[in-house]
Structure 1
Amino acid sequence: MMEMTPLTDSRDNDHDTHPPIPQSEASSKKEKEPLAVRKSRRSIWLDSWLFECIALAFSIACFIAIVIVLLIYDGKRQPDMANGLTLNTIISVLATGCKSALVLVISESISQLKWPWFQNPTQSQNQLVTIQKFDAASRGPLGSFMMIIHHRAQSIVSFGAAIIVLLLAFDPFMQQLLTYPVRPIISQDSTASTPQRLAHLPLEQDSTSASSSSWDSALAQALWTNGDFTVIPQCSSGNCTWDIFSSVSVCSRCEDVTSTIKFDCESPLPSVNDVKKAFNISCYIYLPGGIPPHV
């Protein structure tokens, strides 16, 4: 037969008789303060507009950066950047950041505007349908366009939806800002020259100088032919400009000099009575002033 021995407390009276604190309770006291801090930090992001304000500031900063980049490189040559980077890439990245942050702010605003919209007693009907339209407007341009039609563009929600629709053209518009027209620039290592005569010193009539003969030939050609005497400059680049300069030129004036011209024919001209048939005779015509003859 088994006997049951009662359990007795074997602790001495000198020991503390208070019951021990459970370990889980002690750890909860240690974690209470950090948990409250985490909840406070989370509420700052979820229960306030801090994140949206930061996104809006980022969007404005990207837009200002686009303006600064365009002002710096306006009217200048296309820069040669490292790793094949171009201005189009920089503008595209900044435009994407600006647009994305702005869409985030507007979408969150539309999502939050549905709650005060429902507080209006006149909007108590079809609330589920209206919720769907608000959510669709916060997701993309199509829902925003339908929201504009639903509200007939008469509410602040329609204004935000219109911005989302207009942002579809934001990226193409930013890319259109950059153009690379061909413009003339000053070349430092090119040369350009054009003939200029400062004075004309005619030589004697019996001179055999090459300059005298070339002058007489040019003068005769100008008088008796219909040639083009445009001065052709020497230009290494194909597009040279210079300031206006003066050069010796010849002015023309028409006068009747029939009485002063001199004929020099190879043979005497026949008299009128001797002319019985057609004939050809070469004659030189000398104009006054020593102008070369013309046959």
Structure 2
Amino acid sequence: MYCEALGEPTQEKNSLDFTQRIERKLAEYDASQSALKRWLFEIVSWCMSLVCMVAVVGIYVYLKGQPISASKSGILLTTANVLGKIASAALIVPTSEALGQLKWNWFNSAKAMWDFEIFDKATRGPWGAAMLLFRTRGRSLAALGALLVILLLAIDTFFQQVVELPERWSREEVSSKIPRTEWYNPGVEKEFRGGFPIASNNPDLFHIVEKFSYGNGTQPIQVGNGSQPEIPLTCPTSKCTWPVYETLGVCSQCADISSYLTYACLTSKIDWLSSLPGGFTAEEKYPNGTMCGYFLNSTSEHPVLMSGRLMDANESTPAESLLMRTLPLTHLTTREPLYGNGSVLFKHMRNTIVDVLIVSAVNASMETVHRRIPPAAQECVLYWCVKTIKSTYDFGKYEENISETHFNSTAGPFPWLAFPYVDEMGSGTDIFYMQDIVVDGRTSDGRNISGYGTSNTTAYKVIQSFIDIFPSFATTTAATIDPTLRYKLSREGLAYNRQLRFNPWISPYIVPRHLERLAIAMTNVIRSAPGHTMLQGDAFSRETYVAIHWEWLAFPFLLLILSLVFLVLTIVKTSGDGSLGIWKTSAMPALIYSLPPDETQGQFTSSATWSSGKGAPKKTRIKLLPNMGWRVSGQSHLSRSPRLPSGERVPRGWI
């Protein structure tokens, strides 16, 4: 091997460029008698990895729980990523250098020549490290170094798993608003006829009641598994919440009254035929007839057929059948209460909007009437109440949970007064609702409820919205004919009949659920009326924040500790190799100590040397003697220094 000098020889210091001077300086440290100096570069590299990992931990401690949009968050995450790369790269240096030194220590004794190649590859990558691990079978200190080289491949992956960027809801400075009503005052104008005030409907609530009287009611706009709000709330973001609040509204209840019905065949006044006229005086003209079915008060002077059929004079041929009847427990004309105070099972409720009996033949079938199958019979009430509500709004979907309801259950006089009159315009009845609606109480958490309600005038207008549908009847004359609804009985003249595509009061439809939906719709109207107040709540938006999974740092710190252990053990093990030298991963020994003599070198230059077939050379062992060079198995003499080919002179500029 020859070394070429560029140009004429000058001072040695000037003949070396910058990189060569660095390598020479490192070689001086490697040749030092101090173990600290010999391994200073590796110790500094390990310390650099330690500092970087500690810095990464400090950055993550600072960033934990911080929004990614916060100042410096992005820069710090990038910095932590860079420091993680530096930490993993810095760990490779002491590991590979210590493994390289163990290579020369390995050849202090005679070893297979191929071990040199395996050790050399182990310092350069995982494939050689895996080969060395298999070669040593894990019984050598070098096996620990090879294992570290393999494990260091995964350290970046573990650093990346430490940080997660999930999303969470963040409270915004702007607030949300939701309506609630304490005193309902819709401000409806009064109507007069001939200078006298007349009963009129609440137009807002009347349209809601009408939709539920003759169909399936209002249908909210569906959003996913929920629906859009039907109240004028304000949510400036995609999610809003409000504290628990109270509002005036309408509630509903239903209870079974089947035990109050009795099957019988009786002759009595017939008021349910579809051909009968309406009006306050029509009852006087209703015919008598024989009916078989389920009666209310069957043993009284005025039994009421709730579900049954009409018999002809001979009681042999069935005629028109009554499939459904709604019977309000307040007289339509005089507003006198029926059954005591106008209720059967809800006598404790004061100022109800409507208290009605709803009886329907099973499956609205004429056959079930003829077979005397008991009908579905319920008493249902709509009443003023105060609802305790928890509301949420999430991506267009509004949900509310009613945790409590309060209503007026105090005893008091019946609220209706009626006075018959006769004047030049005819006869009639003056009807007055005498009481304001007042609901007081206390919530389960101790908050007072007071000042909730509405005026007697408003209450009267709301009650008027139901006189068209309560009372009403559904009848049929044949099983193949759809039931005919007879309604608007308070109106004079011919009967009002209607065939409904959807009759919510007749089986198999669920009346309690229908009334519950009606109560919610009425509550929404009350909360949306003029005079409501807006309750402020919180508005939230999605933000990305930094979540730290500390467990993923266990692996990098474990490698950091193992690298230190491997480095220290290597220093201790090689500290007695003073004559051998601290070469680490340097290739200089391969240049300085050539294989002994020419005939030995020649046997490794032929192609047969690397053949694995027949005639391949036997396993060759080599041993490094610091003062004598390489010793090859089967050779009895050594070469102390390189020799030039015979007959050649050293050219000018070569050493």
Same fold (TM over 0.5): yes
Give 2:410's aligned residue: none
How do 1:203-282 residues align onto structure 2 when only pairs under 5 Å count?
Answer: 214=204, 225=216, 233-249=233-249, 250-254=251-255, 256=257, 266=278, 269-272=286-289
Paired residue type of 2:98: S
What SS class does the counterpart of residue 240 from structure 1 fall into?
Answer: strand
Give 2:578's aligned residue: none
1:156 and 1:144 mapped to 2: Cα distance?
13
Task: Please say if residues 79 and 86 of structure 1, whose CA atoms lie closer than 8 Å, have aligned partners that are also in contact.
Answer: no
TM-aligned CA distance change 1:276 to 1:215, over 3 Å: same
Deviation at 1:42, TM superposition (A): 6.1
Give 1:9's aligned residue: none
Give 2:56's aligned residue: 66
Give 1:196's aligned residue: 180
Give 2:90's aligned residue: 101
Give 2:577's aligned residue: none
Task: Please say if residues 59 and 102 of structure 1, whose CA atoms lie closer than 8 Å, have aligned partners that are also in contact.
Answer: yes
Paired residue type of 1:195: P
Find the partner of 1:178 among 163, 166, 170: 163
TM-aligned CA distance change 1:290 to 1:237, over 3 Å: closer
What SS class does the counterpart of residue 236 from structure 1 fall into?
Answer: coil
Find the partner of 2:65 among 53, 75, 86: 75
Q: Report the identity percentage.
A: 22
Give 1:145's aligned residue: 130
Give 2:589's aligned residue: none
TM-aligned CA distance change 1:256 to 1:63, over 3 Å: same
Task: Please say if residues 118 and 128 of structure 2, whose CA atoms lie closer than 8 Å, have aligned partners that are also in contact.
Answer: yes
**TM-score when normalising by structure 2:** 0.32
Deviation at 1:256, TM superposition (A): 3.6
What SS class does the counterpart of residue 68 from structure 2 fall into?
Answer: coil
Deviation at 1:107, TM superposition (A): 0.3
Paired residue type of 2:46: L
2:49 and 2:199 mapped to 1: Cα distance?
84
Deviation at 1:110, TM superposition (A): 0.4
What is the root-mean-square deviation of aligned Cα atoms in Å? 4.4
Query: Hey, which of these two has a bigger chunk of strand by percent?
Result: 2
TM-aligned CA distance change 1:201 to 1:62, over 3 Å: same
Give 2:340's aligned residue: none
Paired residue type of 1:55: S
2:165 and 2:326 mapped to 1: Cα distance?
63
Task: Please say if residues 208 and 217 of structure 2, whose CA atoms lie closer than 8 Å, have aligned partners that are also in contact.
Answer: no
1:63 and 1:152 mapped to 2: Cα distance?
32
Q: Deviations over 1:255-292 (max 9, x none)?
A: 54989xx9896255554469997699xx9854445522
Task: Please say if residues 212 and 218 of structure 2, whose CA atoms lie closer than 8 Å, have aligned partners that are also in contact.
Answer: yes
Q: Deviations over 1:12-43 (max 9, x none)?
A: xxxxxxxxxxxxxxxxxxxxxxxxxxx99963
Paired residue type of 2:58: I
Paired residue type of 1:254: A
2:26 and 2:186 mapped to 1: Cα distance?
100
Deviation at 1:215, TM superposition (A): 5.1
What SS class does the counterpart of residue 186 from structure 1 fall into?
Answer: strand
TM-aligned CA distance change 1:70 to 1:154, over 3 Å: same
Give 1:124's aligned residue: 110
TM-aligned CA distance change 1:173 to 1:186, over 3 Å: same
Deviation at 1:199, TM superposition (A): 5.6
Q: Deviations over 1:146-187 (max 9, x none)?
A: 111111223322222112112222223323333322221111
Paired residue type of 2:238: G
TM-aligned CA distance change 1:213 to 1:130, over 3 Å: same
Gapped runs of 5+ residues in structure 1?
A: 1-38
TM-aligned CA distance change 1:159 to 1:247, over 3 Å: farther
Task: Please say if residues 56 and 105 of structure 1, whose CA atoms lie closer than 8 Å, have aligned partners that are also in contact.
Answer: yes
Deviation at 1:130, TM superposition (A): 1.9
Give 1:12's aligned residue: none
TM-aligned CA distance change 1:276 to 1:156, over 3 Å: closer
| Number of residues of Structure 1 aligned to a counterpart in Structure 2 | 245
Give 2:42's aligned residue: 52
Q: Which has the higher contact order (CA 8 A, sep 6+)?
A: 2
Deviation at 1:52, TM superposition (A): 0.8
Task: Please say if residues 88 and 155 of structure 2, whose CA atoms lie closer than 8 Å, have aligned partners that are also in contact.
Answer: yes
What SS class does the counterpart of residue 187 from structure 1 fall into?
Answer: strand
TM-aligned CA distance change 1:101 to 1:118, over 3 Å: same
Give 1:17's aligned residue: none
1:276 and 1:40 mapped to 2: Cα distance?
121
Deviation at 1:143, TM superposition (A): 1.0
Paired residue type of 1:151: T
1:208 and 1:194 mapped to 2: Cα distance?
33
Give 1:114's aligned residue: 103
Paired residue type of 1:252: Q
TM-aligned CA distance change 1:278 to 1:85, over 3 Å: closer
2:45 and 2:31 mapped to 1: Cα distance?
14
Q: Deviations over 1:180-235 (max 9, x none)?
A: 2222111102x3122323466899x978788x554566577778856568765431
TM-aligned CA distance change 1:271 to 1:64, over 3 Å: same
Gapped runs of 5+ residues in structure 2?
A: 1-23, 33-37, 191-196, 221-228, 262-270, 290-311, 331-351, 355-465, 470-486, 488-655
